C-alpha cells in the first residue's frame, strides 16, 4: 500500500490539492511511483477519513488543500523505517527478452537497440531536469538529488547493457 505513503510523503513536503499532487507525480516523483487521477482522489478521501491528513483550505472551483497531520507524520516515519518487503519484479521490457528467440535475430536486435535509444533519451531528460530544478540546501533537495542520481545511473546502465546485448546478438545469432 505505497500510494498511501507516497501521498503522505508529498504532503509532508508541502500541503497541496489532489490536482497539485497529480502534477508532482508526473514530474519529480515520476521516477519512483505513479498514480492516476482517479486513484489519487480516492486515496485522499480515505486518508482524510482516517485522520492521517486533513483539509486545511477550501479554494476556488471546489479546490481542497490537504496537509499531513501529526498522526500522518507518525505513520510516515514508521513506514520509512520498516524493512522494505521484497518487491515483486515486474519489468515487461526484460520479460520480452526471454522470448526473443521466437522472432528473427534482426528483429531481436532492433528490439534491443530501441531499448538503448530509449535509455539514452531518459538520460537526457534527467540531465535537463537536473539543470532545471532550483536545488537548495533543504532535505527535499538533498534526497531528491540522490534519487535523480539513481535514475541517471539506471539509464546509463541500461544503455550500456543494450549496446552490449546488441553486439552479442549480432555476433551469435546474426
With CB under 7 A as the contact rule, which of the stretches 54-62, 70-78, 116-124, 132-140 interacts with DNA?
A: 54-62
Is the torsion defined by CA of 117, 123, 126, 127 positive or negative?
Answer: negative
**Least distance to DNA, CB of residue 5, Å:** 10
For position 130 contacting a copy of itself by CB under 8 A, the verdict is: no
Written as nine digits, the cell of 70 is 501529526
Under the binding rule (CB under 7 A), the answer on residue 83 touching DNA is no
**Which stretch, 41-49, 52-60, 102-110, 125-133, contacts a copy of itself (CB under 8 A)?**
102-110
At closest approach, how far in Å is the CB of 172 from a copy of itself? 6
Is 149 a binder of a copy of itself (CB under 8 A)? yes
- Judged by CB under 8 A, the number of residues near a copy of itself is 64
Using CB under 8 A as the binding rule, whether residue 139 contacts a copy of itself is answered as yes
The Cα 5–Cα 11 span in angstroms is 10
Up-side HSE of residue 108: CA atoms within 13 Å toward CB? 21
Q: Where are the alpha helices (DSSP H) in the chain?
A: 2-13, 18-26, 37-49, 70-81, 92-98, 105-132, 139-173
In angstroms, rounded to a whole number, what is the distance separating the alpha carbons of residues 87 and 133?
Answer: 30
Q: Which stretch binds a copy of itself (CB under 8 A): 14-22, 46-54, 100-108, 124-132?
A: 100-108
Nearest C-alpha neighbor of 72 from the set 98, 96, 99, 43: 43
- Interacting residues with DNA (CB under 7 A): 1-3, 17-20, 34-39, 41-42, 44-45, 59-65, 88, 90
Amino acid at each position: 500500500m505505497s500510494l498511501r505513503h507516497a501521498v503522505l510523503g508529498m504532503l509532508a513536503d508541502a500541503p497541496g490539492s489532489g490536482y497539485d499532487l497529480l502534477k508532482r507525480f508526473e514530474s519529480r516523483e515520476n521516477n519512483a511511483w505513479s498514480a492516476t487521477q482517479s486513484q489519487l482522489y480516492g486515496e485522499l478521501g480515505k486518508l482524510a477519513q482516517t485522520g492521517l491528513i486533513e483539509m486545511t483550505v477550501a479554494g476556488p472551483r471546489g479546490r481542497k488543500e490537504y496537509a499531513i497531520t501529526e498522526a500522518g507524520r507518525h505513520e510516515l516515519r514508521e513506514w520509512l523505517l520498516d524493512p522494505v518487503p521484497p518487491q515483486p519484479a515486474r519489468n515487461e521490457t526484460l520479460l520480452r527478452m526471454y522470448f526473443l528467440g521466437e522472432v528473427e535475430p534482426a528483429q531481436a536486435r532492433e528490439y534491443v537497440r530501441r531499448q538503448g535509444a530509449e535509455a539514452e533519451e531518459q538520460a537526457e531528460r534527467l540531465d535537463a531536469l537536473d539543470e532545471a530544478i532550483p536545488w537548495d540546501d533543504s532535505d527535499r533537495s538533498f534526497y531528491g538529488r540522490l534519487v535523480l542520481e539513481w535514475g541517471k545511473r539506471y539509464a546509463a546502465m541500461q544503455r550500456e547493457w543494450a549496446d552490449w546485448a546488441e553486439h552479442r546478438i549480432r555476433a551469435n545469432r546474426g
